[in-house]
């Protein structure tokens, strides 16, 4: 990587901010803000709007890329890295511009942009071995994670006979798609399970069974929380239950909302929010997993998921179902019946 901006030294957040802004804006535009341009909220927002992450996060990511032992197959651990090429790869994920637009923005040939973009996406993807890890010990907790499938639209793959392949049809996107199964730690802002890509024709329940998560949870005697698509596996995944105690219902509801918040963070990246147009499952997997790694960095740098127990009152005397409520309701009914009997007897006496 013999380029003018090669640098295998750590870079501070302000240096990253400068590099990122200079790629997108003129010096006049960068400096035309109130106060110090390198602490300006306007410039910080501009940076994140183009790269999908703060300059503090990118500085940390850059440092990890320099020092990590987790490398894609065939990558030279001593290769010189380019901060500009890394930023261009992040811009590709977040804005997902066409090659003609990226050529005009970065003043590089499409071939050069493609080469280094995919190089850095694979480097980021490889960090999943460090950032997305299933814990060895969850303590005494039974419910340990939420699980959900994320579907993304893709171009229709070729089929030898039919114009459309039902194997890839996504009921969520109403078109061809690929999906990933994601698991979020219930009590920490961590993505701890990522499995895919799967053709979207098989639903989330099928991926849960066939993808290995059900067996993994069964082996450690723990459970996930999921929506009703995961019905049928009571020993591995708890879903909505009408007989749950109100506090448990609220807990499950908040857990699913919390997971959707992470899904929303992922879908901020236009690469998977829009129709993916850069090849098949392998290319999609590189991009999706790189985005998941970046979102994990985001949760570690000030964008934590909300506290699942905040605002939930767990009464120690409450049961795990509404049986106690049913009994009290029956008692109230008996009292009402007694009152009616008393009234009837008074009427008779009159």
Distance CA 140, CA 121 (A): 38
Burial class for 160, CB neighbours closer than 10 Å (0-12, 13-18, 19+)? exposed
Averaged pLDDT, 125-136: 97
Residue 150 has pLDDT above 90, yes or no: yes
For residues 299 and 342, the model is more confident at: 299
| CA 89 from centroid of its chain's CA atoms | 19
Residue 120 has pLDDT above 70, yes or no: yes
Element at 191 (helix H, strand E): strand 191-199
Q: Where are the domains of the chain?
A: 13-126, 133-300
Percent of the chain with pLDDT over 70: 86
Mean pLDDT of the chain: 88
Residue 161 has pLDDT above 90, yes or no: no
pTM for this prediction:
0.86
For residues 128 and 166, the model is more confident at: 128
Averaged pLDDT, 210-222: 96
Residue 319 has pLDDT above 80, yes or no: no
pLDDT per position as a tens digit, 65-106: 999 999 999 999 989 999 999 999 999 999 999 999 999 999
Q: What is the pLDDT of residue 311?
A: 62
**C-beta of residue 72 within 8 angstroms of C-beta of residue 125:** yes
Handedness of CA 28, 33, 38, 44 (dihedral sign): negative
Between helices 83-95 and 55-67, what is the axis angle to 10°?
A: 120
Q: What is the pLDDT of residue 322?
A: 36
Distance CA 214, CA 203 (A): 14
Q: What is the pLDDT of residue 5?
A: 52
Distance CA 125, CA 148 (A): 21
Quote the DSSP letter at residue 244.
Answer: B
State the pLDDT confidence band at 33, using cuts at 50, 70 and 90. Answer: very high
Q: What is the pLDDT of residue 339?
A: 46
**C-beta of residue 225 within 8 angstroms of C-beta of residue 248:** no
Q: What is the pLDDT of residue 329?
A: 38
Handedness of CA 28, 32, 38, 42 (dihedral sign): negative
Class in CATH terms, 133-300: alpha beta
Q: What are the DSSP calls for 83-94, one per residue?
A: HHHHHHHHHHHH
């Amino acid at each position: 990587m013999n380029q003018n901006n090669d640098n295998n030294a750590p870079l501070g957040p302000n240096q990253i901010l400068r590099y990122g802004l200079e790629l997108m804006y003129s010096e006049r535009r960068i400096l035309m803000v109130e106060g110090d341009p390198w602490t300006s909220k306007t410039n910080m927002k501009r940076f994140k709007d183009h790269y999908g992450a703060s300059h503090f996060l990118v500085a940390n990511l850059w440092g990890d890329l320099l020092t990590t032992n987790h490398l894609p197959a065939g990558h030279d651990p001593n290769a010189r890295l380019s901060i500009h090429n890394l930023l261009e790869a992040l811009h590709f994920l977040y804005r997902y511009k066409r090659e003609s637009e990226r050529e005009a923005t970065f003043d590089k040939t499409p071939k050069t942009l493609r080469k280094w973009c995919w190089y850095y996406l694979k480097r980021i993807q490889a960090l999943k071995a460090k950032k997305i890890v299933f814990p060895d010990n969850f303590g005494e907790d039974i419910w340990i994670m939420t699980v959900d499938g994320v579907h993304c639209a893709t171009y229709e793959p070729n089929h030898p006979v039919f114009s459309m392949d039902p194997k890839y049809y996504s009921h969520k996107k109403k078109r061809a798609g690929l999906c990933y199964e994601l698991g979020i730690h219930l009590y920490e802002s961590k993505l701890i399970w990522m499995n895919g890509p799967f053709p979207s024709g098989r639903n989330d329940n099928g991926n849960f069974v066939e993808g290995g998560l059900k067996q993994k949870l069964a082996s450690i005697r723990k459970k996930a929380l999921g929506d009703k698509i995961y019905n049928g596996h009571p020993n591995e995944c708890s879903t909505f239950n009408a007989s749950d105690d109100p506090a448990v219902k609220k807990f499950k509801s908040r857990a699913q909302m919390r997971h959707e918040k992470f899904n929303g963070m992922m879908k901020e990246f236009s690469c998977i929010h829009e129709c993916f147009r850069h090849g098949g499952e392998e290319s999609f997997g590189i991009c999706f997993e790189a985005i998941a790694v970046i979102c994990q960095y985001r949760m570690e740098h000030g964008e934590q998921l909300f506290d699942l127990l905040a605002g939930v009152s767990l009464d120690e005397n409450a049961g795990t179902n509404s049986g106690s409520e049913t009994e009290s309701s029956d008692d109230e009914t008996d009292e009402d019946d007694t009152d009616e009997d008393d009234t009837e007897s008074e009427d008779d006496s009159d």
